[in-house]
Amino acid sequence: METEILKIDKNAPDPAAIERAGRILREGGLVAFPTETVYGLGGNALLADASRKIYAAKGRPSDNPLIVHIADMEHLPPIAAEVPENALKLAGACWPGPLTMIFNKTSLVPDETSGGLPTVAVRMPSHPVAAALIRAAGGYIAAPSANLSGRPSTTKAEHVIRDLSGRIDMIIDGGDADIGLESTIVDFTEDVPVILRPGYYNLAMLSEILGEVRIDPGILDAAEEKGVRPKAPGMRYRHYAPKARLVIVEGEPEKVVSKIQALADAAAQEGKRTGVMASDETAGRYRADDVKDLGSISRDEDIARGLFDALRQFDDDGVEVIYSEAFLTPRMGQAIMNRLLKAAGHEVIYA
């Protein structure tokens, strides 16, 4: 399949270009598009066939449900059977934006889109190209992250082109993603709202808006070893993973620097190509084949934005083992560490 690559200016989306992409979606085709979190691989959420095509293009297991993206509040009731009061409150505070909410679904949502679950995940993105495309597509776009299954999510059009060209109808290049990590997912189908995936909105921010909020025990650090399964099917798979082995080193900062350097030296001795992921504060102190400075600890939104790109660059550079500092920052730390731990297959060393 020939994939058309279409550049669209985020600040002034060309209506004719959006209409062309919208038509592809209305007719059941696939279009990758930018959002403020990561790029999405879009198909018409109300067509079972389009969802089947999404799974095939990504190589994704078909029991892993898709997020339905909407652009207007009036499109929520037709797909969500019950929307509790506190969900409306959260929507008021965070939509459009990097938040996904889970509700019981109506029969309008095909089982293919919801991965066979009786629930549906819904998000209203704030990216102007995404919003315009959703409206042009008829109101409902199902979109997982636009990466091949298991690979890091895509935050730049070039990542999407690398993973998906030849597999889908169109890729819209709308520039780099602002946030760089996928949306926060909150489940509203239980008595108390439950965070299934941390993102730009962390536990403290959600508690401030909602009062009582829980975190799915399946996504906490040691859950995997204890056999507690995350509720979001997608959080169960090894994920976001570079081809290289990734090891996280945690502890007191000075000890972390020495430990990472010792590990990188030992790997280099064995003839391995080595990488280090560090912050601005420490990056200059490492010697390795590829040292990446993700940004200052005091600006952890920069670290989040560049994380997936860094993981992909290590692969392009042929790095075989990556040692990463832990980024336990207050604002984005939950989301960064959740992705990093999954990418590392939970391999953590305490310095």
> Hey, is 304 helix, strand or coil?
helix
- For 151-173, give one letter per residue: b (16+ CB within 10 A) or e: bbbbbbbebbbebbeebbbbbbb
Which does residue 100 touch among ligand TXA, Mg ion, none (CB within 5 to 8 A, set by kind)? ligand TXA
Cβ distance to ligand TXA smaller for residue 42 or 333: 42
Contact residues toward Mg ion (CB under 5 A) are 145
**Which among ligand TXA, Mg ion, none contacts residue 324 (Cβ within 5 to 8 A by kind)?**
none
CB of residue 210 vs ligand TXA: minimum separation in angstroms?
18
> Which of 94, 249 has the CB closer to ligand TXA?
94
CA-atom Rg of the chain in angstroms: 20
Among 32, 336, 27, residue whose Cα is nearest residue 170: 32
The residue among 66 and 278 lying less far from Mg ion, judged by its C-beta, is 66
- Please, which residues have CB within 8 angstroms of residue 190's CB and are 6 or more apart in sequence? none
Least distance to ligand TXA from the beta carbon of 304, Å?
A: 12
Nearest approach, Cβ of 145 to Mg ion (angstroms)? 3
Q: Nearest-CA neighbor of 160 among 136, 140, 138, 176?
A: 176
Residue 103 CB, nearest distance to ligand TXA (Å)? Answer: 8
Nearer to Mg ion, 52 or 273 (CB): 52
| Residue 251 contact partner, candidates ligand TXA, Mg ion, none, CB within 5 to 8 A by sort of partner | none
Nearest 10 degrees: Cα torsion 86, 91, 93, 98: 130
Residues of 216-237 as b/e, b for ≥16 C-beta within 10 angstroms? bebbeeebbeeeeebbbbbbbe
Positions touching ligand TXA (CB under 6 A) are: 35, 37-38, 40, 64-67, 100, 102, 114, 117, 119-121, 123, 125, 143-145, 182-183, 185, 196, 231-235
What's the min distance (Å) between Cβ of 12 and ligand TXA? 22
Instruction: State which residue, 75 or 259, has the beta carbon closest to ligand TXA.
Output: 75
Angle between helix 203-210 and 85-94 (nearest 10): 120
